[in-house]
Structure 1
Amino acid sequence: MLNGVGLLVILACVFGSFIWSGGKMDIILHALPHEMMAIAGAAIGAFLVSNSMPTVKLAGKGLLRAFKGDRWKNTDYRDLLTLLFTLLSTFRKGGPTAIEPHLDAPHDSAIFSRFPRVLADHHLVEFICDYLRMMTVSFEDPHQIAEAMDNDIEKHHHEELAPQHALQQMADGLPAIGIVAAVLGVIKTMGSIDQPTEILGAMIGGALVGTFLGVLLAYCLVGPLAAKLLETVDADCKPFLIVKSAIVAHAQGLPTQVAVEIGRRMTPSAKAPTFQQLETALEEAKNDPIPA
């Protein structure tokens, strides 16, 4: 919604100011189809040349992600913390035999199934299950766990950012591609140098539309979308840091509720449940027995 409003503001202000100052839209509209063909075609072609097919596919999904924003809502963070509390409590009370069935088949787990929105993030679920499963085989050194989790988070973040880097590269190249289109227009104009001044003026104006479009697309569309995707990816990686903090605190021997509270403090401030809200959710989890 906010993205759409922003685009409307850009178009209204840019073209509105042009018309208000006496500019003639017919020159832009006449040049727009062929200039856009040159710029968009060259940009897409360069994008395909410089990226692998998986990155190209992820970039398409990335654009949708940029418009939708981050997936994690306020209640999702509360659910994640409650899930961690339930898993860690089960592990501490029942040991590996109690927790392993939930880790081996999380989609069939009575614990995970209570939190469907968390369960829908398969990368995060795998991350939780893998490290809890490793702890069941005596991998319990907090420093080693923290280092291994940091490496995994960095790897995941790098992979998630691949389409964002590709879009940013496209944005960086668009002004230069706009100049290429403008130069072609100038070449065309120079081939008609014997025409009247009115015609030459319109042709030069049409050529400059290429430069205008390249800069506009770079800094008012593709660049902002790449920046929004970066923000979205960063936000969607926050749950991994929460999981890491809680599991490492658990490995250090801290009480489960304290470990989860440490995880809560890693939650983005605008979406973090309060201490009382989390305590209420944990009390409900304690009083809701897990089916055998």
Structure 2
Amino acid sequence: MFKLLGFLLIFLSVLGGFYMEDGPLHALYQPSEFIIIGGAAIGFLAISQPFAVFKGIGQFIQRLFHGSQYSPEFYQQLLQLLFHLFNAASSKGLKGMEDDIDKPEGSILFRDYPLVISQPRLIHLISDTLRLMMIQKIPPHEMATMLEEEIEGIHQDLNRTPDALLNLADALPGFGILAAVMGIIVTMGSIDGSLVQIGIHVASALTGTFLGIFLSYGFASPLARAIENEICKEVMALDVIKSALVAFNSGKPPMLAVDAGRRSLYSELKPSFIDMENELNGQ
């Protein structure tokens, strides 16, 4: 909702200021300019990006306007899940958790944490790492390196979406100029017409420049930055998992292992150790 209000503020500020200067709003409605710039933008994405990235843009936009999935409650559930898993591993061993690790979606250890179980990348990182720990003992420094490389790969994969939008933001003003030049070509074809008619054609052409710049700086660029922030929250959750798993693999008790993950959280999301301890012990 907050991001929707931001886009609404941009839209109302630009058009409201134009209207306050006695600008005719109907002059900005130029369907041909929308078709030229919008179609070129979609074609730019289709040519420059694989379908997975094209699809990811739609998915991220949907997530942003439905509210971030990475709320304080989500991170609280993540810490609780890790504590629950580490306690189970300490009491009955990883071998006794084999069914839970292989099928986390149907496990009683995971089912009380719906916000976490809905994130497949996080669940796969937890279950795959626990499965490796069950098969053989992994030195802590090797596990840390392995998880860092995996998280870096995930981060690069996810960043393809905002990078595509930033590239589009750079291209949109050019498409606006293209639309304006085409409008000037039409104007030159009517140069022997009345001054009013010529003025209408010039205004239509300039609308293309306005639209390209407006969509670039008022839509594509801030949307890319918003997606980057959402990705950072997911990567932070992956870092929480990595730090906690490495600490537990090093022999730390469950509470201290989870605390190692807690330290990866942003300050506004990070509970104090005492608050976390009280929350986990009160389960």
**Structure 2 residue aligned with 1:288:** none
Alignment of 1:106-255 (within 5 A): 106-255=104-253
Amino acid at match of 1:28: L
User: Which stretch has the larger CA shift, 255-264 or 274-283?
Assistant: 274-283
User: Which stretch has the larger CA shift, 246-255 or 268-277?
Assistant: 268-277
Q: Deviations over 1:150-203 (max 9, x none)?
A: 111111112222222222221111000000000000111111111222222221
User: Which stretch has the larger CA shift, 125-134 or 62-71?
Assistant: 62-71
C-alpha distance in structure 1 between counterparts of 2:242 and 2:11, whole Å: 44
C-alpha distance in structure 2 between counterparts of 1:234 and 1:49, whole Å: 27
**Structure 2 residue aligned with 1:289:** none
User: Taking structure 1 as reference, are residues 258 and 26 closer, same or farther at Cα in structure 2, changes over 3 Å only?
Assistant: closer
C-alpha distance in structure 1 between counterparts of 2:106 and 2:201, whole Å: 67
SS at 1:136 equivalent: helix
Alignment of 1:68-83 (within 5 A): 68-83=66-81
User: Taking structure 1 as reference, are residues 146 and 67 closer, same or farther at Cα in structure 2, changes over 3 Å only?
Assistant: same
Residue 243 of structure 1 deviates from its aligned partner by 0.7
Residue 122 of structure 1 deviates from its aligned partner by 1.5
Among candidates 247, 258, 261, match of residue 259 of structure 2: 261
Work out whether 1:66 is the aligned partner of 2:75. Answer: no
SS at 1:254 equivalent: coil
SS at 1:58 equivalent: helix
User: Which stretch has the larger CA shift, 132-141 or 93-102?
Assistant: 93-102
SS at 2:282 equivalent: helix
Residue 69 of structure 1 deviates from its aligned partner by 4.2
SS at 1:22 equivalent: coil
**Structure 2 residue aligned with 1:284:** 282
Amino acid at match of 1:253: G
Residue 108 of structure 1 deviates from its aligned partner by 2.3
- Quick check: 1:77–1:273 contact (8 Å CA) kept in 2? no
**Structure 1 residue aligned with 2:83:** 85
**Structure 2 residue aligned with 1:290:** none
- Quick check: 1:65–1:229 contact (8 Å CA) kept in 2? no
Amino acid at match of 1:101: D
Percent identity of equivalent pairs: 35
Task: Point out where structure 2 has 5 or more consecutive residues left out of the alignment.
Answer: none
**Structure 2 residue aligned with 1:23:** 23
Q: Normalising by structure 2, report the TM-score.
A: 0.94
SS at 1:152 equivalent: helix
Amino acid at match of 2:229: E
Residue 272 of structure 1 deviates from its aligned partner by 2.3
C-alpha distance in structure 1 between counterparts of 2:100 and 2:282, whole Å: 20
Among candidates 44, 47, 56, match of residue 45 of structure 2: 47
User: Which stretch has the larger CA shift, 196-205 or 33-42?
Assistant: 196-205
- Quick check: 1:246–1:263 contact (8 Å CA) kept in 2? yes
User: Taking structure 1 as reference, are residues 90 and 34 closer, same or farther at Cα in structure 2, changes over 3 Å only?
Assistant: same
Say what the alpha-carbon RMSD is for the aligned residues. Answer: 1.6
Residue 106 of structure 1 deviates from its aligned partner by 1.1
Task: Point out where structure 1 has 5 or more consecutive residues left out of the alignment.
Answer: 286-292
Amino acid at match of 1:90: A
Comparing both chains, which one has the higher relative contact order based on Cα–Cα distances under 8 Å and sequence gaps of 6 or more? Answer: 1
Runs of 4+ deviating beyond 4 Å = none
C-alpha distance in structure 1 between counterparts of 2:162 and 2:26, whole Å: 35
SS at 2:214 equivalent: helix
Q: Normalising by structure 1, report the TM-score.
A: 0.91
Q: How many residue pairs were aligned?
A: 283
Amino acid at match of 1:271: L
